[in-house]
Structure 1
Amino acid sequence: MTGDHHGNALEDADDRIVAGRAADGDVAAFAVLVRRYTPMMRAYTRRMLPGSSDVDDIVQDALVTAWQRLPELAEPAKVKSWLMRIVSRKAVDRIRSTRPQVDIDEIQHPLPIEATPPRIVETRAEVAALGAALRELPDAQRQCWVLRELGGLSYDEIAGELDVPASTVRGLLARARRDIIVRMEEWR
């Protein structure tokens, strides 16, 4: 088996195998995970901390933590959600330490090529209205909403991130969604 063939086989292997090998100290396997999931981790962190220059630092810190804690990963097949939880915690820690407002206005939204100028203006106004609605939410509701709607985390994952019971997450999300629906009524 040549080194090239081994690398390609590792690139094509499923997460369970790659994470299992990385947990055993295989640096090449960990490099595969880094290549596979860094873009998603960066995109998620950019959404959590729009306009921040700390995105790469947070992702790098999350990857260092992941490398150190890989032997603790109970289910190697779930390495993707495990990595996303780590980067989410790092992003939430940064939010807590700096306490900026999550500003949805800063998120870049790709527009379809066929978008007309009036549609572009309408979309930007809708995003601005959503940003204003989010800024009016209490911190806990806004954090839950961002983690769920932008981060795609489950209720249990959000509960773990924010160190609150899942029932609290459900209540916070319900209130956040209700308030956003009321504020966004004209955009329906």
Structure 2
Amino acid sequence: MYRDPIYEALATADDSIVAGRAADGDTAAFAVLVRRYTPMMRAYARQILPGTADIDDVLQDVFLTAWQRLPELEDLARVKPWLMRITGRKSVDRIRAGRPQVNIDDIEPRAAERAAPARIVEARMGTAALSSALRELPDGQRACWVLREIGEYSYDEIAEELELPLSTVRGLLARARKFLLIRMEEWR
């Protein structure tokens, strides 16, 4: 088996020397870069791509781009990270190219108006305003209102729960509702 002494010398040379010669058009130097970094680039592409079928095509694209753009590389000693960046970009490009482009409006139904962000914010602000107004109510009015409106208790059940006469419960609820109606006017 014939061994090329120039190739063997390049195989042990520093990245900056090999990349410099390859940038000047030396195909033997470029072959050293290909042989040196293909296993690492293949492993990296395999991590990004969903299947193994495209890996060789991606690496071929990477080396074609590298051959064309190597003279533009400013720091030739950084050829390894440069090749890895190209590998990452080409792998992602391959994924994007293989993915069908679908308009989300065609497949996703529009959110209900009540689920729109502005409506959600408005509802939260209304709830916060109601909480604030409820804190301003006297304890008896607040207890009656919460049991009636949130707990859905009947008037009799509220009277029994709070140990109050039914007429007092009705009065407390009427005053609580009047206060909240005025206080929450801007939220109607």
Based on CA coordinates, which of the two structures has the bigger radius of gyration? Answer: 2
**More relative contact order, 1 or 2 (CA 8 Å, 6+ apart):** 1
Q: How does the TM-score come out when normalised to structure 2?
A: 0.50
